[in-house]
Amino acid sequence: MALRTVSRRGLAGLSRNGGGLGLGLGLVTVRGLKTFTLPDLPYDYGALVPYISGEIMQLHHQKHHQTYVTNFNNALEHLDQAMAKGHSPTIVKLQSAIKFNGGGHINHSVFWKNLTPVREGGGEPPKGSLARAVENQFGSLDSLIQKVNVEGAALQGSGWVWLALDKDQKRLSIETTFNQDPLVAKGSSYVPLLGIDVWEHAYYLQYKNVRPDYLKNIWKVINWKYASDVYEKECP
Ligand SMILES: [Fe+2]
């Protein structure tokens, strides 16, 4: 099988610390292979109490998200080795692990930014052009929230419910993805404004099996300013 070898000489020698690239997803360069790191939360683990417990936040961040990062990096390293050997079965086999763990890393990195403590504006409604778009398309913010909650509660198994911006259509859209599929898997024009994790690990310790209560309460700590900033940047 024909295989093209790409020289990595230009990247050799970059250390984990010295070669770091701040691309928003905690990206560093090791031996020419880009790997990912767990991003810090922009608030304390207990900052979202009483809506999300500190125990959930700590486990979710330190254990679940960290595992996605670790497994994503492992899969990328194996991919690198398989590509160097030109071993196509291994290259193909690794794709599901890359999608699942890479998606988990992408999704959680957005999720932490979608939340913020009440004292820092959590739950305050959107302003500006996003507020007008919500009003135009959904009638009211309450109507949008209700629709997101219905979709999130109805999602079978594990996954995510999103408030997405379709950049091409310049329209908001409520979307769901299964497992750790990132929103971009539904189309390259979709940009996540809000992504709500509806895996049980996101709520079970506090809400048990009552996902609708978790969905009802999470809006008290939603960071609409983040969503508004993304909207204005992507849809000026
Ligand atoms: Fe999660």
Between vectors from CA 57 to CA 117 and to CA 118, what angle results, nearest 5°? 10
pLDDT at 50 over 50: yes
pLDDT at 26 over 80: no
Neighbours of ion ligand 1 (CB under 5 A): 197, 199, 202
For residue 41, report the distance from its CA to the centre of ligand 1, in Å: 14
Cis before 42? omega within 30: no
Tell me what pLDDT residue 5 has: 41
User: Which residues are part of a known binding site for Mn(2+)?
Assistant: 60, 108, 197, 201
For residue 60, report the distance from its CA to the centre of ligand 1, in Å: 6
Portion of the chain with pLDDT greater than 90, in percent? 84
Give yes or no for a contact between 161 and 150, defined as CB atoms under 8 angstroms apart. Answer: no
- Check residue 137 and give left, alpha or beta (phi > 0: left; psi -120 to 50: alpha): alpha
CATH number of the structural domain 54-116? 1.10.287.990
pLDDT in tens, 96-132: 999 999 999 999 999 999 999 999 999 999 999 999 9
pLDDT in tens, 59-103: 999 999 999 999 999 999 999 999 999 999 999 999 999 999 999
- What one-character DSSP code corresponds to residue 107? H
pLDDT at 142 over 60: yes
Question: CATH 1.10.287.990 region(s) of the chain?
Answer: 54-116
The rounded distance, in Å, linking the Cα atoms of 234 and 8 is 34
Question: CATH 3.55.40.20 region(s) of the chain?
Answer: 119-234
For residue 228, report the distance from its CA to the centre of ligand 1, in Å: 23
Tell me what pLDDT residue 47 has: 98
pLDDT at 176 over 90: yes
For residue 199, report the distance from its CA to the centre of ligand 1, in Å: 6
Tell me what pLDDT residue 34 has: 83
CATH number of the structural domain 119-234? 3.55.40.20
SS (H, E, C) 57-72: HHHHHHHHHHHHHHHH
For residue 65, report the distance from its CA to the centre of ligand 1, in Å: 7
